[in-house]
Amino acid sequence: MLRLRPEVDDEDHLVAYLRRAVVNRARSALRRRGTVLRYLAKLRPHSAPPADRDLLTAEAHRELLGALDRLPPRQREVLVLRYYCELGEAEIARTLGIPPGTVKSTAHRALAALRRRMKDGTHEL
């Protein structure tokens, strides 16, 4: 029989008591959060996404692809293999025949160049 408040020198029961207390507290917090979220969802009016969302997304993708096309070939290859093909650094290094450190530095430089171009709105070298 598990006592409600175990003695401090009874380690097995103390550990079980503490675990159960943490679990119960977490469940209570999640229940409260769920209740609040359901209540807030009822208060908010359901709204449709903006009509131009797809158009703006497509335009942003076109701009990104344009900036990507203007990167040097090695930088473009590394980013495509990393983010489109979802390869890791070691796999990219083997594929391109370069050291993993070169993959890291090339990816870093390529991302910095893309960020600069997208921020400035310039897509030229």
The share of the chain scoring above pLDDT 70, in percent, equals 88
Parse the chain into domains and list their residue ranges.
Answer: 1-44, 65-120
Query: What CATH code is assigned to 65-120?
Result: 1.10.10.10
Neighbours of 111 (CB within 10 A): 16
CA–CA separation, 78 and 92 (whole Å): 7
Q: Look over the chain and give the mean of its residue pLDDT values, rounded to a whole number.
A: 85
Question: Which pLDDT value is given to residue 100?
Answer: 95
Given pLDDT bands bounded at 50, 70 and 90, which one contains residue 125? very low
pLDDT in tens, 102-118: 999 999 999 999 999 88
Q: Both ends of the chain: CA-CA distance in Å?
A: 75
pLDDT of 51 above 70: yes
Contact 124, 70 (CB under 8 A): yes
pTM: 0.54
Structure confidence at residue 1 (pLDDT) = 44
* CA 15 – CA 28 distance, rounded (Å): 20
